[in-house]
Amino acid sequence: MQLTAGHRYSSVAGWARHDPAVSANPIDFRVFLADEMPTQVDGMTLAASVEASRPLLDQDLIEYVATIPMRQKGSGRAGLKRLLEISMRDLPPPETTRRPKQGFAAPLDDWFRGGARGFLEATLSPERIERRGVFSPGAVSDLVGRHVAGRVNAAKRLYEVLAFEIWADEYLT
């Protein structure tokens, strides 16, 4: 069920009298969670062609969490994160919750050997590299060839040269 900012606010307006630390929540519910956050998430996901859901904006969940005293929620983002971890600990499998943090790295090595290979080879072609005069065409061509053949993973270096070429096309020509 999609709720309006006003509906969310009317559900939580009386909470502040129970816990003074909660007095700022209506502003978050009315502005940030109801309007600003969904707009930002929608914009970013549309731009990246990905889907996202907002399960933590569920009305029942919001009302339940609002009844938890601030002292039990902890302090700052770390406290709220800990509360979320405790409440959800039995849902995901342990191999996902007990592993160390890992960042998201775009799989450039696979892309440059697969779907983006043609783009990479065209953008970093010896003729184009020579015309720009910044990099050695032979060295770039050799690096592309060794990467595509799977002899080395030069994705990071190739990405840097590729980004430079694209930038140079846009701003130097």
Position 102 in a domain: no
Do 88 and 132 lie in one domain? The reply is no
pLDDT, tens digit (0-9, with 9 covering 90-100), for 80-131: 777 777 777 788 888 877 788 777 778 899 999 999 999 999 999 999 999 9
Contact status, residue 87 vs residue 93, Cβ threshold 8 Å: no
pLDDT, tens digit (0-9, with 9 covering 90-100), for 54-75: 666 777 877 777 777 777 776 6
Domain interval for residue 136: 108-171
pLDDT, tens digit (0-9, with 9 covering 90-100), for 13-58: 444 455 566 666 667 766 666 677 778 888 888 888 877 776 667 7
Q: Check the CA dihedral 91-95-96-98 and report its sign.
A: positive
Q: How confident is the model at residue 172 (pLDDT cuts 50, 70, 90)?
A: confident
Position 103 in a domain: no
Q: Check the CA dihedral 59-60-63-66 and report its sign.
A: negative
pLDDT, tens digit (0-9, with 9 covering 90-100), for 132-144: 999 999 999 999 9
Higher-confidence residue of 87 and 171: namely 171
Do 88 and 144 lie in one domain? The reply is no
Last residue of a domain, one of 43, 66, 97: 97
Q: What is the DSSP letter of 150?
A: T
Contact status, residue 161 vs residue 112, Cβ threshold 8 Å: no
Alpha helices in 13-154 (DSSP H): 25-27, 37-48, 59-66, 70-73, 76-88, 94-97, 108-113, 117-123, 126-132, 137-148
Total domains, the chain = 2
